[in-house]
Structure 1
Amino acid sequence: MPQDFLSIVKRRYGDGGYAGDEHGGAAGSDGTGLPTGSPSNFMFATGIECSNPTIDNGRTRRDQLEECGHYARWRDDLRLTRELGLKVLRYGLPIHRIHLGPGKYDWEFADRVMAELRRLELTPILDLLHFGVPDWLGNFQNPELPVHFAEYCGAVAERYPWVRYYTPVNEIFVSARMSAKDGLWNEQLKNDRAFVTALKHLVAASILGTQMIAKHRPDCIIVQSESAEYLHEARAVPSTAVKLINMQRFISLDLLYAKPFDADVAYWLQDNGLTREEYDWFMAGEPPGYQIMGNDYYGRNERILLPDGSMSPAQDVLGWYQITHEYYRRYQKPVMHTETNVFEAGDAPSWLWKQWMNVLRMRRDGVPVLGFTWYSLIDQIDWDVALAVKNGTVNSCGLYDLDRRPRPVAAAYRQLLEEFGQITVVPHGELFVVGDQPAKLMIEV
């Protein structure tokens, strides 16, 4: 009587224990456990809030590193990052304190922090311009900003040659809009021409800065952090104005990644000061380095324009997944979730898990999501009014409060890290890491 193949196999080899790829080709792990710092690890991160725009027509500097106590407690902040189990930190060097003038720098504070980061084996993503510039440069309307910023980037890269990850200019679109369209920061202007000017100067600064970084670190990895936004409209007939707003949110990345504009945006930019020569310069090609498209998402990034003209929050109508997927289809760049938080400490753990589910879903659908960031490590000051007024209100959005005591979201993040901390940077990424360590199995996400 004919025998089935399985009976023959079992008679020859016994039950179970057959050689296969269940451990990635070696005695690996399933992706659980705290991050090890391996190049194959997914990049779980936090950040030190470092915004530093000016308000009151340049008379008042909103330095969040100072207001949140980081200058005094930076050692504690770096220690807390390490103790939580994180290996990656978005860290902003205070350009307004370091870059004193053309060719003039004060490295005292930066040198101490950078040495401690290295000692603790924390990987910094260096944030070089976060909403503000030194007083001597004025504001984002200054056409000399790109060349002076490029010089600064080159000086940073030369001084810290071991750093590979950079965000040259944080949230270019938000920086320009808040400063030149909404009138809250820096130049505090409220017109389209000033908005376009700020966009041009900031993108040019990022491009030239990246080129200077790449001269010292040709294998640099650029994590561009940009706000993922969308404006919904509760009207039967969509307006031309809202359509334009939802196209304008792409301008900074279109310029940065040399993506030709939609016609309506191109006409609007031309009407407000973008020359053909400038357009050709931006479209010449992408900046050097390995480019990661970071998308920041807060519930307040989505809004609904109501029929009476007022605005309503639209938290999670689309969410990070849907909005970022639109950005990904447009630019085809690896993705990182570079910022998120909520102001209500009690809601933060559930928001953390919701954002992480967005990341997992994106990865399951084949989009290369390389990292995730809870921003920030400690609470912030006055972000409920976008730093526009110095009220001293504490926003309870940190993993730790301003006394460096853990908030509930810190325990939630630790739990997340213990479960997912060793998943590979892309699914089955062990295939792309060649070294002397055992291969590891990427958990199926």
Structure 2
Amino acid sequence: MDPIASPASLAHLVAPPADSPMRRRDFVFGAGTSSYQIEGAVQEDGRLESIWDRFCATPGKVLRGETGAVACDHYHRWQQDLDLLQRLGVDAYRFSIAWPRVMNEAGRPTPRGIDFYKRLLDGLGERGIRAFVTLYHWDLPQHLEDRGGWLNRETAWRFADYADLMSRELAGHGDVAAWTTHNEPWCSAYLGYGDGHHAPGLKSNRWAAQAMHHLLLGHGLALPALHANAPQAMHGIVANVAPGYADTDTAEDRDAAQLFETFQNRWVLDPLLKGEYPADLWRLWKGCEPLVLDGDMDLIRRPIDYLGLNFYSRAVLRSAGPDTIDWVRRPDVERTTMDWEVYPQGMQDLFEALKRDYPNLPPLYVTENGMSSHDSVQGGEVDDVQRQAYLKAHFAACSRAMANGVDVRGYFIWSLLDNFEWAFGYERRFGLVHVDFESQRRTLKRSALAYADFLRERAAG
């Protein structure tokens, strides 16, 4: 018997409250992945080296020296994975295109790589699943990094060329509901060029600030081509956000919390929605202002149809002196295996604050929310109790924000599959679906079965 067809519904394990606006039929539910984390096949069909291939090959950069060379072997098993999405009953699938797979060093198309994404989109369309396509989820072609990467202004223009190519080549394939320029430019800029935790592994706050500017400039430069080539789709960007809370109710700690939110949220959102960088950022990073040319901010603040928000946790902050902040690790609170605190109320608090702070806030999509845990198959099943409770609580928090007027239109769980979790290798499991990386066997976790039951009941209702 198909476990999803079981008469004993598990929907209550994850479902939003009965009166939740998330239960509307036009609310989009989905799941997400990214190219380097699942595809593998890093040397097939003309794919070039990416910065993550190079980073993984550098000793000491990734836990246990693991790489994305095989990952979930999605490049060969994509039909099986689309069948999993269909079994779940999701409305949409969020995935990213591997830039090194679709363009050569001269900027010309790589047909076999592009054909893979055409097949993927067609397969989604055949299954009635809409696509949310991300152009950049961190796997920059290494040849561009060799010329400076996101520190080189020219990369922003090359990104616009790439966006133009893909939106033209993939036109007419599947049902692309949304194009996303960048996933989490904060991570690309700060983790990649500021603290070195991610590829390309550079360490300079000044470099991080300049990389961010060129990432956002690339976003603005890409929008006209996306609108021209895919006028029926939405066009936007995805930011990772987190609320900051003061450790104590002192002016100094409240200022520390505000500085954190400037660094984590406003560094990305102010340029996009206000056309300026937050002045408070340079209190933290004195003398690190990027080179901004005339007209750049007008390009960056071009209107977007939606804003994707990736939410996982919160931060608690205290002052460590003037213009300096410390992160506080609260004891005796629930955490995930990423050591992130589970704090669903933070989603509601932050979403409502963004609505207040940005009068021009576009419609929101939760483009990532989920958690990592130590999941294992026992008796053919994976009972991921913590993830079930995590999703249910965050669905409820999103529901409260929506009831208070925040315009949230969709919610994507991260991730469809256990996958390559960047510098943590394969140790941290975020998937709705358990992957045995030796056999590539997929097993739907209990959270996935509950999600499927909820979606089926919503569709029937």
Does structure 1 conserve the Cα–Cα contact (< 8 Å) formed by 2:32 and 2:414?
Answer: yes
| TM-superposed deviation, 1:77 | 0.7
Aligned amino acid, residue 296 of structure 1: N
Identity of aligned residues (%): 21
TM-score w.r.t. the length of structure 1 is 0.76
Give distance in 1, aligned partners of 2:286 and 2:274: 16
CA shift for structure 1 position 414: 1.6
- Distance of 1:152 and 1:309 partners within structure 2: 40
> Deviation of residue 419 (structure 1)?
4.2
Alignment of 1:23-62 (within 5 A): 41-51=26-36, 54=52, 59=57
Alignment counterpart, residue 442 of structure 2, candidates 404, 416, 423: 404
In 2: Cα distance, 1:222 partner to 1:360 partner? 24
Between 1:356-365 and 1:184-193, the stretch displaced more is 184-193
The question of whether the paired residues in 1 share the 8 Å contact of 2:432 and 2:447 is answered with yes
Compute the displacement of 1:286 (Å).
Answer: 3.3
> 2:416 pairs with 359, 362, 377, which one?
377
Q: Match for residue 111 of structure 1? A: 118
Q: Distance in 2 between matches of 1:55 and 1:389?
A: 14
1:136 is aligned to 2:151: no
Supply the distance in 2 between the matched residues of 1:351 and 1:57 (Cα, whole angstroms).
Answer: 32
SS of residue paired to 1:316: coil
* Structure 1: distance between partners of 2:213 and 2:74: 32
Displacement after TM superposition at 1:223 (Å): 4.0
Q: Is the 8 Å Cα contact of residues 184 and 240 (structure 2) preserved in structure 1? A: yes
Question: Which residue of the other structure, out of 100, 104, 114, is the alignment partner of 1:100?
Answer: 104
The question of whether the paired residues in 1 share the 8 Å contact of 2:55 and 2:201 is answered with yes
Match of 2:400 in 1: 361
Pair 1:274–1:105, CA change in 2 (3 A): same
- One-letter code of the match for 1:340? N
Deviation at 1:258, TM superposition (A): 3.6
Q: Structure 1 residue 219: deviation in Å? A: 4.0
* Match in the other structure for 1:388: 423
SS, match of residue 132 in structure 2: strand
Corresponding position of 1:342: 371
Which residue of 253, 271, 284 maps to 2:269?
A: 253
Q: Which residue of 2 aligns with 1:182?
A: 195
Aligned to 1:281: 296
- Compared with structure 1, are the counterparts of its residues 357 and 196 closer, same or farther at alpha carbon in structure 2 (3 Å cutoff)? same
In the alignment, is the contact (CA less than 8 A) between 2:419 and 2:429 conserved in 1? Answer: yes
Q: Aligned pair in 2 of structure 1 residues 66, 153: CA closer, same or farther (>3 Å)?
A: farther
Q: Is the aligned partner of 1:70 residue 2:74?
A: yes
* Residues in 2 aligned to 1:99 and 1:240: alpha-carbon distance in whole angstroms: 46
Cα distance in 2 for partners of 1:222, 1:413 equals 27
Change (3 A) 1:115 1:175: same
What whole-Å deviation, never above 9, does each CA across 1:409-441 have from its counterpart, x for those lacking one? Answer: 102212331344589xxxxxxxxxxxxxxxxxx
The yes-or-no answer on 1:120 pairing with 2:136 is: no
Mapped partners of 2:151, 2:183: distance in 1? 17
Shift of 1:370: 0.2
Give the one of 90, 100, 106 matched to 1:86: 90
CA distance 1:366–1:241, shift in 2 (3 Å): closer
Pair member with larger Rg:
1
What is residue 333 of structure 1 aligned with on the other side?
A: 362
| Structure 1 position 179, deviation (Å) | 0.5
Taking a change above 3 Å as real, the CA distance of residues 55 and 244 of structure 1, as seen in their structure-2 partners, is farther
Secondary structure of residue in 2 paired with 1:315: coil
Q: Does 1:244 align with 2:279?
A: no
Normalised TM-score (structure 2): 0.74
Structure 2 distance, partners of 1:104, 1:79, is 32
| RMSD of aligned alpha carbons | 3.2
What is the rounded CA distance, in whole Å, between the counterparts of 2:133 and 2:274 in structure 1?
24
